[in-house]
Each structure stands twice: as structure tokens, then as C-alpha cells.
Amino acid sequence: MKKFFFIFILALLPFASTTVSAESDLPLISEAGIIIDAKSGIVLYGKNANEKMYPASLTKVATAIYAIEHGDMNELVTVSKKAAEADGSSVFIEPGEKIELSKLIAGMLINSGNDAAIAIAEHMSGSEKRFMENLNEFLRKEVNVTNTHFTNPHGLFDENHVTTASDLAKITQYAMKNEIFREYFGKKDLPWQVETWDTTLVTHHKILKGELPYEGITGGKTGFVSKSGYTLISTAARGEQDLIVITLKAPTNKDAYSDIELLFNYGFKNFKSAKIDKKSILYSADHSHSYTLNEDLYYTHLISDEPSLKTSNKGILSITNQEGAAIKSFDLKMVADVRNTEVLPSIKEETINEEATTFSVSSLGWITCVIFIIVITVFLKKSRKKRNDVRTRY
């Protein structure tokens, strides 16, 4: 009796990655910057991307995604005196005022309200200090950043409040996977009614609000304090390609936006995003094993290069360019040993057909044997009967 083995789809684990690049240098004015593919996480270009810098209000992206994931969006936040009196940019909330958490998060991102950031932190963790402990732990463990330490939820200057362009790209990539965050991050304006202010908040990001039009812009956050210079996070999409750009410490606002456009143009002009569907079946080089994915796999390559996919006998999927250099590699989990087991038709139809054919031939052989035995038995019975008839006559 033949045995059928069920196929279990196991996790896809990251193995290694490399930076894809079309240029050795770009005339970036900002002291640090990076552009990544939001789906694959591949770095397309970086300048001082791992240098610790002051992010200013870009900090609020981290505050927002933590609050969205760990808070109740419908809860009312009671504004403290400390929050209402925060320095810098504000959404003009008053002590004792009660505002929905969702509204404060949106106002913080769109109008960069420092008062909203403190109110969120105090509501989420009881105190600003405790919130920062929780936020930093979240960034380390959940977002996997390594060079970030925030001392406040808004980004006002503190010499110990630091991050990197690379870490900010990872934080933004993580945040953009959240539907609520994407909605707030991409808003150009927001009707705003509080006790002392009835207005419409408008994003400070000039490209997002259309002051400096750019095709495909999907979100943005600005930042500035004197020690950080002009800082920007920007996201854009065209077709299947989603890009994230971070620029830090530009000397002027104009330079910051010039760098954003430079990096986006570079990314869209030179690179293409590709996907391996999670339903795909991958086979080892000798076709002895099959592998599958538990999620869609994204990778990025130069538009001028047509990559190839190879799966080794040890289950390592390598994506290489035309010159054979690795673009990205993954360690796959085996789901079937096709040498020793039959697999489901949806996984390997050819194997099923071949084995079905083998089984049919085998079955025919057994049927022939049975018929032969029956014929012999009948023949022997007839022979015995004839002998008995002869004895009876004589």
C-alpha cells in the first residue's frame, strides 16, 4: 500500500543580502542618506548610512507606529500640563482636554505636534520616561535596529537622542506595513477641532502636499532643529516598486528636497522590484528535494540585468545577476523529499503522473498473474475430470 505524505509549508528564513548599486557615488548634499526598496529591504544607495545622527521630528514615526500597535485607537487621552506646554511645533491642545488617541497620532504626524507626542507617551506608559524605555525596547526587539536610542517621543535636541539613516529606513519600512500608519503618513491635510483651535492641519512635507510635485509620492515626514539640520523621510511608489528615502542634516530645506528627488530618480530609473509568489515550488539542483514559501518573496535588481534563481541541494535559494554575483540569498526549509515520497498533485504533478503510470503497469501485472492462475486451475480441474472419466469406463 502506497503512503501519502502531507506537505507542511515552513518559514522562510533570511540568509544573506547584498547592496545593489548602479552608481559608486551620487552628488548628495545631505550629510547622510539612504534609499531602500520597501518590499525587499535592499539598500539601493547609501551615504554615511550607519553614522549616528540627530533625527529631529523624524522620531515621531517611531512614536506613531508604537502607539498604533500597542494602543487603543478609540481611547480618550487626557492632556497633561506638561504636554500642553511642550516647546516647538504644536497642535495647540489644552491641559485637561480629552482627545482620541487616533486623532493625536494623526495630528502628530501631519503637523508634527510635540505636545501631541508627549500626551501620547504619557497615556501609553504613564510617563514620558517609561514610554521611552518601552519604545527603545520595541525598536530593538521588533524592528531590529541596532544604532538607535531615543530620549524623548518628539525629537527635540538631546545629545543622547540619536539614530542612523539605515535605522530610520528600517523603522519606516516596518511602519509602512501597517495600514493605519500608511493612511496617516500619506495624509496631506486633516480637519482639526480642539478646545482652542478650529482649523485644518496641513502636512509640512512640501512634496506630499504638492508644493514640489513628484510622481508617486505616498508619504512624508519633516524634521528640523539646529543641531540636526533639515531631515526628511519620504516614500513613493510606481507600479510594483515602493521606495523609501531618508536624508539627514541637509544645510538648507531646498537641499533636503533636492536630495530626495535625486535619490528617487536614481531608484526608479535604475532598479526593478520582482516577486516570487508564495505558491511557487522550488526544486534543488538535482531535483531531489522541493521547497515552498510561506509568504511572497521580494527582491530587487538592476533594470539592465536579468537575474537568475538557483536552489542548491542544501536548500539555499540564490538570486544572482548576469555576472554571477549574489543579489540575495535565502535559507529554505524542505517540504518534500521527492526521491522517497509521493507528493500532492498541486506540488509535483509530473511525479504523480509517472508513479500513476508505474502503478497501472504494476496492477496490470497482478491481474495477468491472477488470470493465469485461474486458467491453470481450470485446466487442472478439467484434466482430473478426464482421468476420472477414463477410470470410470474401465
Catalytic entry in 17, 30, 40, 60: 60
pLDDT at 366: 47
Catalytic entry in 17, 80, 89, 112: 112
Please check whether residues 363 and 221 belong to one and the same domain.
Answer: no
Please check whether residues 351 and 264 belong to one and the same domain.
Answer: no
pLDDT at 353: 34
In this structure, are strands 334-337 and 289-292 parallel, antiparallel, or unpaired? antiparallel
Please check whether residues 33 and 180 belong to one and the same domain.
Answer: yes
Q: Which of 233, 254, 273 is the last residue of a domain?
A: 273
pLDDT at 317 over 50: yes
Q: What's the structural domain count of the chain?
A: 2
pTM as predicted: 0.78
pLDDT at 370 over 60: no
In a domain, 332, yes or no: no
In a domain, 57, yes or no: yes
Please check whether residues 43 and 138 belong to one and the same domain.
Answer: yes
Closest CA to 280 of 256, 297, 267: 297
When mean pLDDT is compared across 11-25, 144-158, 374-388, the lowest value belongs to 11-25
Catalytic entry in 17, 30, 40, 57: 57
pLDDT at 88: 95
pLDDT at 292: 74
pLDDT at 164: 98
Cα separation, 361 vs 339, in Å, equals 20
In which domain, by residue range, is 367 found?
344-394
Active site annotation includes 127: no
Please check whether residues 261 and 351 belong to one and the same domain.
Answer: no
pLDDT classification of 360: cutoffs 50, 70, 90: very low
For 284, the grid coordinates are 534543488
Residue with cell 470410470: 392
Taking CA atoms, 81 is separated from 94, 116, 156, 196, in Å, by 8, 12, 18, 15
CA 23 to chain centroid: 25
pLDDT at 385: 55
**Which positions ≥6 away from 216 have C-beta within 8 Å?**
236, 237, 238, 268
pLDDT at 121 over 60: yes
Q: How high does pLDDT run on average in the chain?
A: 83
Active site annotation includes 226: no
pLDDT at 343 over 60: no
Q: Which of 253, 273, 293 is the last residue of a domain?
A: 273
In a domain, 283, yes or no: no
Taking CA atoms, 123 is separated from 62, 72, 102, 114, 358, in Å, by 16, 11, 12, 14, 69
Q: What is the CATH number of the domain that holds 193?
A: 3.40.710.10
Q: Which of 273, 299, 317 is the last residue of a domain?
A: 273
In a domain, 328, yes or no: no
In a domain, 358, yes or no: yes
pLDDT at 207: 98
pLDDT at 357: 32
Class of residue 360 by CB neighbours under 10 A (exposed 0-12, middle 13-18, buried 19+): exposed
In a domain, 159, yes or no: yes
Between 280 and 41, the more confident residue is 41
pLDDT at 362: 39
Active site annotation includes 112: yes
pLDDT classification of 342: cutoffs 50, 70, 90: very low
pLDDT at 346: 35
In a domain, 387, yes or no: yes
In a domain, 198, yes or no: yes
The phi, psi pair for 245, rounded to 5°, reads -125, 135
Mean pLDDT score, 156-175: 98
For the segment 199-252, what is each residue's pLDDT rounded down to a tens digit? 999 999 999 999 999 999 999 999 999 999 999 999 999 998 999 999 999 999
